Amino acid sequence: MVLGEQEFGEDNISIITQFRNNWSRYWKKIVNYSANLGAHLSQCRSKPYDHNHCYREFQMNRFSIALFSLLLMQAIYTGPAYSQGRQIPYPLPAEPILLETYDSRIKVSVVASGIPRPFSFQLLPDGDILVADRYTPALRVIRNDHLDPEPLKGLPSIRTGFHSGLLDLEAHPQYATNQLVYFTYHTALESGNAYAITLGRARYDGSDTLKDFEQLYLGTPMTISGGSRLVFAPDGTIFMTVGGAMDRQPLAQDLTRLEGKLLRLNDDGSVPQDNPFVGRTDVRPEIYSYGHRDQYGLAIHPETGELFHAELGPLGGDKINIIKAGANYGWPLYGYGSYNDGEPMQHLNREGIEPALIIWQPGIVPSGLLFYEGEAFPQWRGNLFAGSIQRGRLPGTGGLERIVFDDRMWEQQRETIATELRQRIRDVSQGPDGFIYLLTEELDGAVIRIEPAQ
């Protein structure tokens, strides 16, 4: 089995999700198998050999059917909870709580909950919060700290399954005037089980329906997917990560495919003519960098304009990269951690491979990136924040990473915040109020607000 996101729980839940979505097909197979066994027993009894042996064979097969059926029902109804290493998810506090950090006292409160395993959210200037429910799939809205019971209408057809579905959300830099929201998702293709990463956009005007949907970009066929992140650059182009390069196959090094690549597009989905590989016939022109594994965080440095990028190692070796045009970041040949079977990776400090800015060992599964620029926490201005799913593959160890750099972008301090919540932090963002917001990816996913304690 291919392990993604540096954690068994993530993939196990995804497999169970597919199992639940296809349970009727599996059940029909059980029924058909039972019917075939009945026919086999009739044929067996009509033949001149030991009927007792024939009956015992039938009983053993019937027992196998019963056992498989019980396991199937167990997976359908209880698999997701057990797959995270606990029977009941860690509950969020019903009331706001106060927590201590290295240099701050913070108030943590749940804005809204009840979203099954969301992947991303977008805080809009008017205070509305859009939330991407990956596997349903659905786009949910939180208004005035209340989750609307019905999702937005107007989404395109979205393919869901192992790591695939509705992924990232990003408002256009001129959202206040054009109301455009961009999102990545997977589109099923006609050829077999293949599908493709897709970039779309639509207008959100505060109503219950998305308007003027457009499919802007359709990627190459793939059969293994990962997440995706979006961010607009200062020049108006949009960066988009593509997963699907989780195992040792050299997909991330194949420049005719999109798995394990970072793409750069214009806001209409076309390819910028100054992309690093434009003009080459052996490379897809939308590729901006390559050699990536799962990539679940993008952020633009507010002063330098550099693109910061969170990438997951298979077993340890999670990292933050500063992206360079046309650069190779090593996967699956080189890295800082080990492969999923424990074999150490060859170190990537070598010519032609870009090193990381910082790494995590053990891994934390970084997801979501934010350079804080608000006024609510002046002591945190310029700090980099990253969500954390779990540390060292241990359930209930997620939190919010805070990293302090000096003017040379050398790391000075690092701390993990809000581990008391024991949640999988999938995304992080700054609100128009200057507070920090977290998105938890749990069966009862929630948006959480962090503000200064009074």
Poorest-pLDDT segment among 12-16, 73-77, 246-250, 292-296: 12-16
- How many Å apart are CA 324 and CA 307, to the nearest integer? 8
- How many Å apart are CA 396 and CA 420, to the nearest integer? 9
Please tell me the predicted confidence (pLDDT) of residue 49.
Answer: 39
Backbone angles phi, psi at 21, to 5 degrees: -65, -25
User: Over 60: is that where the pLDDT of 74 sits?
Assistant: no
- How many Å apart are CA 215 and CA 211, to the nearest integer? 13
- How many Å apart are CA 342 and CA 335, to the nearest integer? 13
Q: In what order do the strands lie in the sheet with 129-133?
A: 118-123, 129-133, 138-143, 146-147
Which token pair is 69?
Answer: 């059926």
pLDDT band at 88 (very low <50, low <70, confident <90, very high): low
Cα separation values, 433 from 29, 126, 429, 438, 452, Å: 54, 10, 11, 14, 12
How many Cβ atoms sit within 10 Å of the Cβ of residue 56? 11
Please tell me the predicted confidence (pLDDT) of residue 192.
Answer: 79
- The answer to whether 364 and 387 are in contact (CB under 8 A) is no
Q: For 17-50, how does the pLDDT look when each residue is reduced to its tens digit (9 = 90+)?
A: 344 444 444 444 444 544 444 444 444 444 443 4
pTM higher than 0.95, yes or no?
A: no
Q: For 384-432, how does the pLDDT look when each residue is reduced to its tens digit (9 = 90+)?
A: 999 999 999 999 999 999 999 999 999 999 999 999 999 999 999 999 9
Better-predicted residue by pLDDT, 23 or 95 = 95
Sequence-separated (6 or more) residues with CB below 8 Å from residue 4: 10, 11, 14, 163, 226, 243, 246, 294, 312
- How many Å apart are CA 431 and CA 445, to the nearest integer? 19
- How many Å apart are CA 413 and CA 411, to the nearest integer? 6
Please tell me the predicted confidence (pLDDT) of residue 40.
Answer: 45
Which token pair is 402?
Answer: 């805070």
User: Over 80: is that where the pLDDT of 96 sits?
Assistant: yes
Which token pair is 188?
Answer: 């099923």
Cα separation values, 35 from 27, 28, 58, Å: 13, 11, 12
Q: For 186-244, how does the pLDDT look when each residue is reduced to its tens digit (9 = 90+)?
A: 999 987 789 999 999 999 999 999 999 999 999 999 998 889 999 999 999 999 999 99
